Amino acid sequence: MRALIERQLYHPSVVLPMVELMQMMVAQDFSLSQVGLLVATRGARAALQRSRALICATTHHCHA
């Protein structure tokens, strides 16, 4: 069980977002409201980019 937890914990898909969150918290002096706003903004931006990519892939109307 311990080996399973260690494999999951040290996986880059877990570690990298944690490191990025810690960097944001340090940059914002641990203001949870500012960090929450940054996370929400980045999530919205990523969702918008992903939806644009999906639309572009399905309609073949890609504009750079």
Question: What CA–CA distance (Å, rounded) separates 10 from 20?
Answer: 15
Q: What pLDDT digit, counting tens, does each position of 37-61 carry?
A: 888 998 899 999 999 888 888 887 6
Q: Is pTM beyond 0.85 here?
A: no
- Token pair, residue 2, equals 């311990």
Question: DSSP for the chain?
Answer: -HHHHHHHHTSHHHHHHHHHHHHHHHHTTT-HHHHHHHHHHHHHHHHHHHHHHHHHHHH-----
| Side chain identity, residue 8 | Q
Mean pLDDT of 17-33: 85
